[in-house]
Amino acid sequence: MTQSPVERYDLAVIGAGMSGMAAALFAAQRGLSTILIGSSGGLLFASGLLDLLAVHPVPERRLWSSPYDALAALARDQPEHPLARIDPSAIRMAFKAFASALASAGLDYAPLVERNSDMLTSMGTVKTSFGVPLTMVAGIAALEARPPCLLLDFRGLREFSARQITATLADRWPQLRHQRVVFPGFDAIPEVNAVHLARALEIPETRDRLMALIRPLLGGARVLGLPAVLGLGRSREVHVAFEAGLGVPVFEIPTMPPSVPGLRLQEALEKAVSVRRVRRRQASVRALTFDNATALLDLDVPGWERISASAVVLATGRFNSRGLTADRHGVRESLLGLPVQQPASRDEWHQRDFLDLGGHAINRTGLRTDGTCRPLDTTGKPAWPNLFAIGSVLANQDWTRAKCGSGLAIATAWAAIEQLARQLRGSGMNAKLG
């Protein structure tokens, strides 16, 4: 017996990482009825920084101060890279829309200028990125000017050592000092967790107690750095309170994943999609089939559940996220078995040297698409007119090495939804799009 679909949407987005979240947001902003399927747990591993493009060419490890200059070079050198196929003006709009959705959910980023910025990591190294949470932004000027600065850490917070950062930078930043304090109320706890500290700092009395401990330590410091623990959903309020209460700029340094900034991003994105009435299902899609103009999705939930949609965005990620599967026969796309661009043999997946500057071919495998993010079938044509693939599942990119993870996710999400809106408008399938 065939059961009729229970719910129908304009768009089903499969995967709720950075790219799926962005696609759902952009689609809902355009008035498309959208369902977003998958867990957003992977976002916990994000640093909170939104990279656009910092490194190109990857083997030379050339760092760019302007991501848009880097994109222009990428378009010349690697026109098949998914970011090179998107108009920079669309990328600008995509980032603006994404940051504004985060701000409306309480997570502020510094105004997006045309530059990348350098900031400190918890290892004492420097990371170049594009979108910087407001709570971290004072660290950019501090790293540039290197004024007297106090770095603080907390007894029992194992993933962050102010002493280690200070030691790493001692020759380049002689006026950087470090201090360790016992977090108020956690005196009896030998090992503390950044999320617990962040929650505690949303209570005004706790932050007053912490600021009372910090004031005498400041000495001549003109800026204060500390691990990213300044609140979760209320980081804006906690950060403002610290700067006002201490009288110096205060900046957070991202800790190792899973981190508080990742959790903030996850919470803000969930809030943003919910406010825009995106239907959410924390489930896995176990089968995707097409019936003429309709996609049918079977969800992996107890019992049987099928939904249908006029269009589908595959935002299923790479190997860790199960979007791609590798076995001894090669790399496969997990849901539809779409052709994956990959080396001819397994011997070519990896370079001999694990640290090879050029990276490994396996990290550039993925789905080939036409110029509008539609994955191609074995004949080189779009597999289905209303099927799109975005984010890290795409071929011809190595986002970790090029430092373009969020840029790839946000920009391809924007491009796919733009194209979908055009197609639906053209077909008259969605009256709301005019």
Ligand X SMILES: Cc1cc2nc3c(=O)[nH]c(=O)nc-3n(C[C@H](O)[C@H](O)[C@H](O)COP(=O)(O)OP(=O)(O)OC[C@H]3O[C@@H](n4cnc5c(N)ncnc54)[C@H](O)[C@@H]3O)c2cc1C
Find the part of the chain contacting ligand X (CB under 6 A) among 95-103, 196-204, 230-238, 320-328: 320-328
Could you give the maximum distance between any two Cα atoms of the chain, in Å? 77
Query: Does residue 249 belong to the site contacting ligand X (CB under 6 A)?
Result: no
Query: Does residue 350 belong to the site contacting ligand X (CB under 6 A)?
Result: no
Query: Does residue 91 belong to the site contacting ligand X (CB under 6 A)?
Result: no
Please give the radius of gyration of the chain, using alpha carbons only, rounded to the nearest integer. 23
Find the part of the chain contacting ligand X (CB under 6 A) among 115-123, 340-348, 350-358, 401-409: 401-409
Query: Does residue 120 belong to the site contacting ligand X (CB under 6 A)?
Result: no
**What are residue 379's DSSP bridge partners?**
none
**27/50 with CB nearer ligand X:** 50
Binding residue (CB under 6 A) for ligand X from 5, 245, 257, 359: 257
Binding residue (CB under 6 A) for ligand X from 255, 259, 316, 386: 316
Query: Does residue 121 belong to the site contacting ligand X (CB under 6 A)?
Result: no
Binding residue (CB under 6 A) for ligand X from 33, 34, 47, 235: 47
x-or-dash string of contact with ligand X, 12-31, rule CB under 6 A: --xxxxxxx-----------
Binding residue (CB under 6 A) for ligand X from 78, 164, 284, 351: 284
Q: What Cα–Cα distance (Å) separates residue 414 from each residue in 37, 163, 410? A: 18, 42, 6
Query: Does residue 226 belong to the site contacting ligand X (CB under 6 A)?
Result: no
Query: Does residue 139 belong to the site contacting ligand X (CB under 6 A)?
Result: no
Residue 327, amino acid:
D
Choose among 2, 94, 90, 87: nearest CA to 50. Answer: 94
**274/400 with CB nearer ligand X:** 400
Query: Does residue 50 belong to the site contacting ligand X (CB under 6 A)?
Result: yes
Query: Does residue 261 belong to the site contacting ligand X (CB under 6 A)?
Result: no
Euclidean distance between CA atoms 138 and 127, whole angstroms: 15
**38/184 with CB nearer ligand X:** 38
**31/257 with CB nearer ligand X:** 257
Query: Does residue 37 belong to the site contacting ligand X (CB under 6 A)?
Result: yes
**34/206 with CB nearer ligand X:** 34
Percent of the chain as helix, strand, coil, to the nearest 5? 35, 20, 40
Encoding tokens for residue 71? Answer: 């994109």
Query: Does residue 285 belong to the site contacting ligand X (CB under 6 A)?
Result: yes
Query: Does residue 260 belong to the site contacting ligand X (CB under 6 A)?
Result: no
Range list of H helices, 180-299: 194-200, 204-218, 235-246, 260-275
**Residue length of the chain:** 434
Pair 120, 223: CB distance under 8 Å: no
**What are residue 14's DSSP bridge partners?**
37, 314
Number of residues that bind ligand X (CB under 6 A): 34
Find the part of the chain contacting ligand X (CB under 6 A) among 53-61, 315-323, 345-353, 379-387: 315-323
Least separation in angstroms between residue 8's CB and ligand X is: 19
Least separation in angstroms between residue 363's CB and ligand X is: 12
Choose among 106, 412, 410, 95: nearest CA to 272. Answer: 106
> In whole angstroms, what separates CA 231 from the centre of its chain?
19
Pair 225, 251: CB distance under 8 Å: yes
Query: Does residue 124 belong to the site contacting ligand X (CB under 6 A)?
Result: no
Beta-strand runs (E) in 84-189: 117-120, 126-129, 149-154, 176-181
**241/315 with CB nearer ligand X:** 315
Encoding tokens for residue 233? Answer: 């959903």
Query: Does residue 315 belong to the site contacting ligand X (CB under 6 A)?
Result: yes
Relative to beta strand 366-367, strand 285-291 is: unpaired
**43/138 with CB nearer ligand X:** 43
Residue 294, amino acid:
T
> In whole angstroms, what separates CA 73 from the centre of its chain?
23
Encoding tokens for residue 132? Answer: 């910087």
Euclidean distance between CA atoms 304 and 300, whole angstroms: 8
Query: Does residue 317 belong to the site contacting ligand X (CB under 6 A)?
Result: yes
Report the interface residues with ligand X, using CB under 6 A.
14-20, 37-39, 42, 45-47, 49-51, 257, 284-285, 315-317, 321-323, 335, 391-392, 399, 405-406, 408-409
